[in-house]
Structures are given as C-alpha cells and as structure tokens.
Amino acid sequence: MKPPRFDYVAPASVAETIEALAGTTEARILAGGQSLVPLMNLRLARPTLLVDVNRVADLAGFETRNGTLRFGAMCRHRFLETDPLVRREAPIVAKTAGMIGHVHIRNRGTLGGSIAHADPVAEFPALLVALGGRVIAGSTGGERAIPAAELFAGPFTTSLEPEELLSAVEVPAHTPGDGGGFAEFARRHGDFATAGVVVILHRDGSGACVRLRAAGCGLGPTPVDLSAAGEFLLGESALSAGAAAELGRRTAALADPPGDVHGSKEYRRELAAVLAADAVRTAWQRAGSTGWGAGD
Amino acid sequence: MSVLAPPEAPPRTGTRTRRREDTRLLCGEGEYLGDVQRPDLKHVAILRSPLAHARIRDVDVSGAMTLPGVIGVFTGAELAVETGEFSHHLPMIPTLRQITWSVLATDKVRFVGEPVAAVVADSRYIAEDALELIEVDYEELPAVSDAEAGLEAEAPLLYEDWGDNVFLYMPGAHGDVEAAFANADGVLQERFTHHRISGLPMEGHGALGEFDPASGRLEMYVSTQVPHTLRTVISDITGLSEARVRVVAPDMGGGFGNKAHFMREEVLVAVLAMRVRHPVVWQQDRTENLLSGLHSREQSHEVEVAYRDDGRVLGLRADFVVDVGSPELYILGCAPAIVTTSVVPNCYDLADYAFEMRCVATNKCPMGGYRGYGQPQGIFLMERVLDLVGERLGIDPVTMRRLNMIPDEPRPYVTATGAVLDTGSFGEQLTELLEAAGYDAACEAREVARSQGRLVGVGIAQMVEPTAPNIHALAGRFGGYEMAMLTVQPDGRVNVAVGTKSQGQGHETIFAKVAAEVLGISPDDVEVTDGDTAALPYGTGTWGSRSAVMGGGAVIKAARQVRDKMAAIAAGMLEAPPDQIETADGFFRLGEAAIPFGQIAAAAYLHTFLLPPGMDPGLSVVVGYDPGNTSPFPDERGKLNVAATYSTAAAAAVVEVTEATGVVTVHDLTIVHDCGTVIDNVILDGQIHGAVAQAVGQTFFEEICYDENGQPQTSTLLDYMIPTFGDAVRPRIVHRETPSELLGGFRGAGEGAIIVTPAVLAAAVHDAVAPLGVAITQSNLSPPRLRALLRGRPAG
C-alpha cells in the first residue's frame, strides 16, 4: 500500500498553480488529501505530479458579493463549520460541513477538494446541486463558471479539464424565508453517508412555499437533483406529516440509487424516503424562523 | 538470622491492579514487528492473484528483476524446488481430503489474494513498483463463490482429482435420534445462517527473518500467537533443525485467533531470508489482511428439532454446510466448524443429537480461527431453537431454559458429544442473570413500549465453553499442554518464561501475580517473558481461552517446585523440617523466625555452603503441565472431551429496532460470567468489553462480501465496517467464581462474551420484531440486512 513515484510542487499563487497544471495531463491537486492520498496508496490514483495548493493564500476565505456567497476552494470543512460569519451567512453550508467525517478529517478536508473529487456519497456536491450553485475554474486559457448541473459527470468524474483549477465555489446568498435541511444516514458516526437528502426551500411572507430544491447523495452515480419530487409543495402554507411522507415517497420514486455492500438499491430508496421527509421538515421549520436557523 | 517486620501483603489474585505492560504500550514504547529494525533490512512485497480461480500458465519476472533496488523476485515454481510443503498433518481423518501446498501458488490460484510471487527490494515502495512489472499468464476458470454453489453437481472443481468440492465430510450420531423424533409431539424445522467476517487484528500478520550463513541459524520475528509450534513448521518446510531456528513474537496488536494459524507468508519470509542473505521483512497491509488474512464464521445449518408439548427438547438433527474458502491453511480451517458441531447441546440435557457436516472448498479466502472458534454458531443454534420452540408452545424463554437445563448434579456431567462438564450450577447462574438484568422489569417496560408502537425486545442466552482445549485430532500434531520456566535470581527477583503469547491481554501482569502468590513475594519482583522460543523449550501458544488455565497452571507448578526447594533451604538454615516452613510476604517462616526470600536466593547461588548436604545449587525449573483429562482423539462413537475445563456465561439484552432504517439500538446488555478463580478483575472486564465490541461488530456492522465471480467487495475499511468507539456497547458484568479442579482454579476467559452475545442479541431482536411476524434466524443483523427481513415479511 505504497504509491508509485510522483513529483511534487507547492506553488504560492493561483497563477503558479495553473502553470504547473498546464505542464502535464497527469497532475492532481493536493488540497486536504483526505481522499486522494488513500487512493494513491491503493494505486487507484496515479498522478505523476502533485500540485500542493495548501500554500496558495488566494484560495482561502469567504466573501459575500452581489447576492452571491463566494468560498475559496481551500476553505476547510472545520472552518466552514465553525466560522461565525459562515454560520450566519450560509448556515446550511456550516451545518453540512459539520456532517463530514470526524474533526480530524474536517481539519484537513476542503470544500473545493470535496466537490472536485465528486464522490457520489459526499455531502458538498449534493448541497451545491440543491443550492443551484456553481464553481469557478481557471486555466491558462482563462476563467469559467460551471453550474452544478453541468459539473458532475459520473462517479468521481467532473467536467473540469485536467489543466483546470477549481478555485472557488459560489452559491446564492440566503434571504429571509430561506430554509435548508440536510438529513443523511450513516452506519457509523463520521462515515460517508449510505444516502442523504438535502432540501432547500423558501417561504414567502405568508408562509407559503414558493421555491423548493432538493438533491441527494448516495442515490445515484452523481449527486441527484430531486427537486421535481417537491413541486407539489409549491404554494402550500403548511407541511403536514402526510405531505412530508409524500415527499419521501416521490423522492424514493425519483431516485435510482446503486446497490453495494452498504445497502441495496431498495434499501437506499427506503432511506431516501425517510431522509427526504426528515430534511423537508427541518427546512420548512428553519424557513419559518428568522435566518436559516443558524443558531440551532 | 535477621527477623524483620513483614512488608505489606502483596496483591493477591482476584484483585484489581494496574496492568504493568500498559506504561510501555500506551506510551508508544512497545516493540511491535514494525519497530524491529535490522541494518540492511530488505522489504518483501507479494504479488497476489487478481482472479478467484485460474491456472497459472507462466510467470515472467524478467521486467521486475531489472528495476533498480530489487534484490530478487521469486515464483512459486522456483521456490518449490528446494522448499518443503505444508499439509494439515491429519492422516487420521479418513474423510478429510489430504492436500499439500507451497509457500507460493505453483499451478493454480484458488482465491483473490492468493500469493503468487514475491519481490525483495530496498524498500516496500520499490517492491510494490516491481510487482507491477511481473507478468502472469492466467487461464481463468469459473469460480465457486459459495458453499451451496460448490455442492451443485456441475460446480467447477477447485481440485479436479476430488471429483467434488467437499473438503471434509463428518457425520456424528449421539444417543437415539430416531426414537426422540418418534416420541415427539412436534418437530421444528429451521435454517440458520452465519455470515463471513474477519477477526481483523489492528496489526496484520507479518514476519521478519534473518539468516546467519556462518552459524546456519535463522531468527524470525513473527506476529504470531504460536511461536513454538510455528518454529516446528518453519523447521519442517525450510529443512533447518529446530535447534537452529528461533522464533520471537514481539508485542502484538491483536491476534484474535487469526494468528494461531501458520501463514504461508510467515514461512515464505524464512525461505527468502535464507535465499537473499539479507534480513527481510514483510508486513501485511490492510488490503492484504482483508483479502488474504483469514475469514471466519460462514456456515449454514438446517435443523430439525423434536420436542414435547411441555417444552422439553428431545432430539436434534442438523446438517451443517461450511464455506471454508481455499482449504490451504494450516491449522485446518474446518476446525472451528468441528467445534460448532460439538457445542450444540450447550448447557442443555440433549442426549439424542445427530449431524452431518460438509466443509466445502470455495474460491474465497481461507476460513480459520477467530475468537469464539465455531462456538458462537453452535450456541446460536441451540439458543434460537429454544426460543422458537417456546414461541410455538407459548412458553417463555426462561422456562424453556429451565426445562431443558443440565441439572446441578451430577458433576462431572457428560454431554451427548462427550464433553465432561465440571461447571457450577446453570440454574443459579440464570437466576443471578435475571436479577442483575432486572429481567421482569425489562419485560414489563417492553410491553409498555409495544403499546406505544415501539419495537422493543428482551432476550436471554446461555453458553458453556470448552476451554484450554487439547485438540490433537484437529490441530495436526499440536496438543494442548503448556510449559513454563521459573528462575529465582541471586537477588531474589524472579524470571518467568511462558509458552503462551500475549496479544494485548495483559499476561505480564497476570503471570506475575500468579507466580508471586505462590512464592509469597510482590508481583513487582517478577519479570515475565513470553513469545520467545529461546526462553523456553516449547509451548503451544495462546488460543482457546487457555492462557490462564494452562500457562497459569504451568507457572503455579513451576513456582511450587522452586518454593519447595527454597523452603528446604530455609528449613536447613532454621534446623526444622521443610513441611513446617511457611511462605508469605517475602519471608520463609518458622514460628517467629523468618528468613527473607532474597537471602534464600543468595544462599542458592552465592552462599552455597548454607545449602543442605547434597542439594544442587541454583533455583530454576522448567516444567510441563498437562491436566491429562482431555481426549486427544475421539472414541469409537465419535465422543471427545476436548477441554481441560469449562467456563460458563449467561446474558440478557434489551434492544430497540427502528423499523424504517433497520437500525438496532442496544439499551442494555448484562453478562454473568464464570471463569473460575479470577486473577485480575480489570483485565477480565477488559476481555469481556472487547469481546462484546467484537460481537456487536459481527452482528450489526461487519460482513465480508464476494460477488458471484469470487471477487471481494470489502477490501478496505471503508467497505468492511467495524464498530467504532461510539458504537461499542458497555455491558453490565457480574462475576461468579466457581473454581475448577485444576491448578489455580481457573476456567479460562476471553471468549465467553463473544460466544454468548451474538445469540442474545439475536434473541432480543427477534423479540423486538416478533409483533411484525419476523423471525431472526441469521447472525447478520446489520441495518440493510434487518431491513430486508422486515421488508420481506409475510403480509398481514
């Protein structure tokens, strides 16, 4: 369980990083290393060049700009989970970060790394889809934005080009009446979820649900957009237990999850139903309270 | 003679003491295999089969040989020329296929992970690079992925000359089963299944070998529970004299029975060390461990049970089918399954019992020993049978057990399979369990919970465990005695060497206490060495809950001999008969007169003019210890008393099932445990906590999976799930102490909790889901598996 030989560079800037990536098609970005390094040890990932971006200051941090929240790709999960500003401006991001792994993993793991790795059971890719966010990718050819809907191509596969650096993640800023809930099922604390469902909705001044988006992890080869399951809730002012269960049923019907050692297709569908109902209840309640329920 | 005030009394057995090895182990100062360094140490990596079943046409190592840093590349065919073969050494079992195999595969591979070639290189990195340059031409063959498939008429054959895949066929008939069924009011038919798991020691297998051509001596450091018997095997296969082979088992990160077998790779390292003339080391990585370490437990049982309407179980027929994977494992991988068949009567009066067992070779990792060693399955069978018969008859689990229990008299009690039970009262143990668990209150609380729509269940289970086995008929040459060497040094400090091997169980602490109690000194004055063939002639290692019983017995025997000699010296000095000398608190006493322990020691080595006339100097003995009450071979009726003594346990559990997800929450687990005289409560409780954690893992988390082509699906710890700290269940523990007749009164501990817990968890989950009409007849109750049962339940 030792990796094959590879080269290593540690650039100090985005420009240097992009330059390093341009030199070979077999380069991989080393961010938190929580997924890549084990894969290298198993020789399942075989980069010839590791580009360590841990020293690139431009990739850290978080800002709000014109109704958009922009996160540097190197935001660590633990930062997102605990930073007071993130907790206030993007509570669902903070909540989701706290669901990942254990503290030690969150101290290293990064938002951009998780999204670029595109593990179909990871939380952040599903959250990005549910929020309708996008990523910013840079290369020697310039910068482009890739919407979440066009980013995830398959298990561990994105539409990022080999020479592109995922530099930032953008999601719409929240507004009063927004609410998000992420429910997942993991056999053990800190594990990747067997399945998870995130629901993001908006309730207007009258309490009626006017927007609802949902996505799932562990329910397909990529994060799955499950928003269609929730269309029947648009215009509703109350969420009955029956309506939450109905969302669960529709979500299960919409999902086409894989079966593996952690759960059969059928089991994951059953989980999807339970989790969607759970997530929508949380989102609904948070949307009805002030903010996104950041304090709870 | 100086007469001093006695020092404070040393701690006796049965007390709680701090484990003396913990400071070293917990501060990172232990010496595990990975810490053993040698100048010029080279590293071994092993090419393993990617196919479940294939013929090896050709292995081309030329590319690997040219990689800088590679010392040598070896194929099975090449090593087979000068190296001996493994076999099971069991010609006395006529229905066992007699096979031999080599350190590396030669003509065929029979499971994914089977070793095919080995690289020795300057580093493990280079060695693994070289593996990628070896080209193997395989002719892929269809695979047998489970026992049932292996028994089909058209199944592919692992060994063409067998004509089928049945590695071992074993029937057994005790009592008059036909009469039992003829007298029955009813017959229960049921199928029980046990899934495949791994013992998963945190530190995998590994070995370091160093050969000195000048002296012809081989020194091996191996993470093994059985260093002495491994020395015999290494000697056999390498052709080196046992007098020239030393095996040392350093500190170990667990073994759990997985390291009580002789791994091909361990002998391979010896062979490579002799070939390359550098010290070489191989350490199994986690993927190697999961693919090719050892697996355990996978069995299915078809049973028919004859019962009377009053709840009495009259007779039992069982058909055991065991998926042993590749049979190329020494000690025999069928041995746990043979134990399964023998423990089925458990602590119940079941005289009429017949079975057939087929151990089927499949294209999977070899099955072998894991803590519990076939007993969890046998106990599960009988405990489930009692609950299921009781359910039919409307008789509660406690009454079912009392109705069928072995009575308190006589002792010993001989069971259907020949076990000679020397235990305490099962009835009293059960009563103590019900009180400790608050059983009646738990049942009332369950009714309240059920009325609220919650799936809460209460279960009980019992077990009797043959410990300190002498299973010559299974172990292939190696019996179950033990040895110890005890030396009192001139300064009065004591060295003890034992043939058992601690893998973390605290043997340094317990053997020091045992020796110190006999010698009347402080355990702090006793140094314990284990796992070194240079320190003691022989020993059979640690397995079968035997270390306290056999190792402890040997230490007591040795200590008594030395103490008696010292008493004789003291008697001479005090001019009194030796039988009037008392040993206590660091003194040899005659009335008010007392001679310090150290003064006698000095006399034995330094002031030998003080010794009685004719007495030899020195205070050192090597003893062998065999209680002699076991039967190494079955009698003409197949009956066999495998164990020197027997431990018992009873358990109660309260669980709750979440119907939507299949998650089981264990609200309470109580274990009443009787392993005879307790040496150290902290260590014993630790054994029980650890065994419970592993039983929880087996029941709710762990499963080794293969696809239909024999490709493993669980080769990392992302896919093979073990419980983490937060998932462990903390049991309530009650100790009964019914001393055995053996030296020290020990019965053996370490496995009882892992034997009884799967059965009690199944009983409780069964009780929880019974209102839904679902029966629990399988060991695997992971959320997806339990959910599948609930989903598939009969309508209505």
Query: What's the whole-number mean pLDDT along residues B365-374?
Result: 97
Among A172, A187, A205, the domain-final residue is A172
Is B287 an interface residue toward A (CB < 8 Å)? yes
Domain presence at residue A294 = no
- Do A132 and A219 fall into the same domain? no
Compute the nearest-CA separation of A260 from chain B (Å). Answer: 8
Compute the nearest-CA separation of A266 from chain B (Å). Answer: 9
- Do A120 and A199 fall into the same domain? no
pLDDT recorded at residue A41: 96
Domain that holds residue A31: 7-52
Nearest Cα residue to A144 out of A165, A171, A123:
A165
Nearest beta carbon to residue A187 from set B660, B721, B788: B721
Is the confidence at residue A92, as pLDDT, over 80? Answer: yes
Q: Do the Cβ atoms of A260 and B788 come within 8 Å? A: no
Banded model confidence at residue B14, pLDDT cuts 50, 70, 90: low
Q: Which two tokens stand for residue B102?
A: 């080599």
Among A144, A172, A200, the domain-final residue is A172
Which residue is associated with the tokens 């195999």? B101
Q: Which two tokens stand for residue B339?
A: 């134990």
B32 pairs with which residues across the strands?
B251
Q: Do the Cβ atoms of B721 and A191 come within 8 Å? A: yes
- For the stretch A194-219, pLDDT in tens is 999 999 999 999 999 999 999 999 99
Is the confidence at residue B529, as pLDDT, over 50? Answer: yes
- Do A28 and A97 fall into the same domain? no
Of B470 and B2, the one with more pLDDT: B470
Q: Do the Cβ atoms of A261 and B782 come within 8 Å? A: no
Domain presence at residue A295 = no
Domain presence at residue A114 = yes
Nearest-CA residue of chain B relative to A189? B726
**Backbone φ/ψ region at B169: left (φ over 0), alpha (ψ -120 to 50), beta:** beta
Is A48 an interface residue toward B (CB < 8 Å)? no
Q: Do the Cβ atoms of A1 and B285 come within 8 Å? A: yes
Banded model confidence at residue B7, pLDDT cuts 50, 70, 90: very low
Banded model confidence at residue B73, pLDDT cuts 50, 70, 90: very high
Integer Cα distance of B325 and B197 in angstroms: 12
Query: What's the whole-number mean pLDDT along residues B414-425?
Result: 95
CATH architecture designation of domain B22-30+481-625: 2-Layer Sandwich (3.30)
Topology of B299-473+631-791 in CATH?
Answer: Aldehyde Oxidoreductase; domain 4 (3.30.365)
- Do A185 and A258 fall into the same domain? yes
- By three-state DSSP, how is residue A182 classified? strand
Query: What's the whole-number mean pLDDT along residues B523-545?
Result: 96
- Do A47 and A97 fall into the same domain? no
Compute the nearest-CA separation of B10 from chain A (Å). Answer: 44
Is the confidence at residue B470, as pLDDT, over 90? Answer: no
Test the A interface: residue of B43, B128, B290, B725 with most A CBs within 10 Å: B128
Is the confidence at residue B471, as pLDDT, over 90? Answer: no
Q: Are B789 and B774 in contact (CB under 8 A)?
A: yes
pLDDT recorded at residue B634: 79
Query: What's the whole-number mean pLDDT along residues B252-262?
Result: 97
Q: Do the Cβ atoms of B784 and A263 come within 8 Å? A: yes
Is A250 an interface residue toward B (CB < 8 Å)? no
Q: Do the Cβ atoms of B724 and A189 come within 8 Å? A: yes
Other beta carbons less than 10 A from residue A33's beta carbon: 17
Using N-to-C axis directions, what is the helix angle for B397-404 and B375-393, rounded to 10°? 110
Q: How far apart are the first and last CA of chain B?
A: 88
Q: Which CATH superfamily does the domain covering B33-141+200-292 fall into?
A: Aldehyde oxidase/xanthine dehydrogenase, a/b hammerhead (3.90.1170.50)
Report the amino acid identity of residue B128.
Answer: E
Q: Beta strand pairing status for B582-584 and B587-590?
A: antiparallel
Query: What's the whole-number mean pLDDT along residues A101-121?
Result: 97
Domain presence at residue A248 = yes
Nearest beta carbon to residue A4 from set B129, B661, B705: B129
- Do A99 and A199 fall into the same domain? no
Query: What's the whole-number mean pLDDT along residues B94-102?
Result: 96
- Do A168 and A201 fall into the same domain? no
Is A2 an interface residue toward B (CB < 8 Å)? yes
Integer Cα distance of B201 and B221 in angstroms: 17
pLDDT recorded at residue B637: 80
Percent of chain B with pLDDT over 70: 98
Is the confidence at residue A32, as pLDDT, over 60? Answer: yes
For B122-185, where are the E strands, in sequence order? Answer: 135-140, 166-174
Percent of chain B with pLDDT over 90: 93
Q: Are B261 and B294 in contact (CB under 8 A)?
A: yes
Using N-to-C axis directions, what is the helix angle for B552-574 and B597-605, rounded to 10°? 80
Q: Is the dihedral of CA B733, B739, B745, B747 positive or negative?
A: negative
Test the A interface: residue of B702, B787, B789, B793 with most A CBs within 10 Å: B787
Query: What's the whole-number mean pLDDT along residues B501-524?
Result: 96
- Do A132 and A106 fall into the same domain? yes
Burial of B153 (0-12, 13-18, 19+ CB in 10 A): exposed
> Which domain CATH number covers A19?
3.30.43.10
What's the count of helices (H) and strands (E) in chain A, helices before strands? Answer: 11, 14
Is the confidence at residue B9, as pLDDT, over 70? Answer: no
- Do A38 and A124 fall into the same domain? no
Render B488-538 in DSSP notation, one character per residue. E-TTS-EEEEESS--SSS-HHHHHHHHHHHHHTS-GGGEEEEESBTTTSS-
Q: Do the Cβ atoms of B661 and A2 come within 8 Å? A: no
- For the stretch A147-185, pLDDT in tens is 999 999 999 999 999 999 999 999 998 889 999 999 999
Q: Do the Cβ atoms of B718 and A185 come within 8 Å? A: no
Nearest-CA residue of chain A relative to B704? A261
Instruction: Compute and round to an integer the Cα radius of gyration of chain B.
Output: 28
Query: What's the whole-number mean pLDDT along residues B50-71?
Result: 98
Q: Beta strand pairing status for B620-625 and B587-590?
A: unpaired
Compute the nearest-CA separation of B557 from chain A (Å). Answer: 47
Compute the nearest-CA separation of A43 from chain B (Å). Answer: 10
B35 DSSP assignment: G
Nearest beta carbon to residue A264 from set B129, B723, B784: B784
Percent of chain A with pLDDT over 70: 98
Is B788 an interface residue toward A (CB < 8 Å)? yes
Other beta carbons less than 10 A from residue B497's beta carbon: 24
pLDDT recorded at residue B4: 39
Is the confidence at residue A61, as pLDDT, over 90? Answer: yes
Distance of CA B464 to the CA centre of its chain: 16
Nearest beta carbon to residue A1 from set B287, B727, B791: B287
Nearest-CA residue of chain A relative to B790? A267
Taking a contact as any Cβ pair under 8 Å apart, which residues of chain B between 653 and 682 contact chain A? 660-662
CA angle B43, B45, B46 (to 5 degrees): 150
> Which domain CATH number covers A78?
3.30.465.10
Question: Is the omega angle on the peptide bond into residue B412 within 30 degrees of 0, that is, cis?
Answer: yes
Is the confidence at residue B8, as pLDDT, over 80? Answer: no
Is B285 an interface residue toward A (CB < 8 Å)? yes
The overall average pLDDT reported for chain A is 95
Is the confidence at residue B495, as pLDDT, over 90? Answer: yes
pLDDT recorded at residue A65: 87
pLDDT recorded at residue B636: 79
Compute the nearest-CA separation of A176 from chain B (Å). Answer: 34
Q: Do the Cβ atoms of A261 and B727 come within 8 Å? A: no
Exposure string for B588-627, b = 16+ CB within 10 A, e = fewer: bbbeebbbbbbbbbbbbeeeeeebeeeeeeebbbbbebbb
Q: Are B597 and B587 in contact (CB under 8 A)?
A: yes
Domain presence at residue A254 = yes
Query: What's the whole-number mean pLDDT along residues B56-81?
Result: 97
Nearest beta carbon to residue A274 from set B129, B661, B726: B661
Nearest Cα residue to B375 out of B75, B779, B89, B738:
B779
Among A145, A172, A199, the domain-final residue is A172
Lowest mean pLDDT, pick from A6-10, A92-96, B6-10: B6-10
- Do A17 and A68 fall into the same domain? no
Nearest beta carbon to residue B660 from set A38, A43, A274: A274
Q: Are A270 and B787 in contact (CB under 8 A)?
A: yes
pLDDT recorded at residue B13: 63
- Do A121 and A167 fall into the same domain? yes
The overall average pLDDT reported for chain B is 95
Same fold, B22-30+481-625 and B33-141+200-292: no
Integer Cα distance of B641 and B632 in angstroms: 8
Integer Cα distance of B434 and B535 in angstroms: 47
Cα distances (angstroms) measured from residue A39 to each of B200, B387, B711, B742: 21, 47, 19, 54
Taking a contact as any Cβ pair under 8 Å apart, which residues of chain A between 79 and 138 contact chain B? none
Integer Cα distance of B659 and B663 in angstroms: 7
Domain presence at residue A167 = yes
Is A190 an interface residue toward B (CB < 8 Å)? yes
Q: Are B699 and B657 in contact (CB under 8 A)?
A: no
pTM assigned to the model = 0.96
Domain presence at residue A36 = yes
Is the confidence at residue B339, as pLDDT, over 50? Answer: yes
Is A5 an interface residue toward B (CB < 8 Å)? yes
Other beta carbons less than 10 A from residue B65's beta carbon: 15
Nearest Cα residue to B541 out of B625, B630, B477, B478:
B478
B622 pairs with which residues across the strands?
B485
Query: What's the whole-number mean pLDDT along residues B438-454?
Result: 98
Domain presence at residue A48 = yes
Helix ranges (DSSP H) in B549-703: 552-574, 597-605, 681-700
Compute the nearest-CA separation of A240 from chain B (Å). Answer: 19
- What is the total count of domains within chain A? 3
Compute the nearest-CA separation of A94 from chain B (Å). Answer: 23
Is the confidence at residue B2, as pLDDT, over 50? Answer: no
Banded model confidence at residue B776, pLDDT cuts 50, 70, 90: very high
Cα distances (angstroms) measured from residue B483 to each of B284, B510, B533, B556: 30, 16, 11, 11
pLDDT recorded at residue A295: 40
Q: Do the Cβ atoms of B783 and A274 come within 8 Å? A: no
pLDDT recorded at residue B17: 74
pLDDT recorded at residue B795: 60
Q: Which two tokens stand for residue B684?
A: 């014993």
Q: Are B630 and B442 in contact (CB under 8 A)?
A: no
- Do A33 and A68 fall into the same domain? no
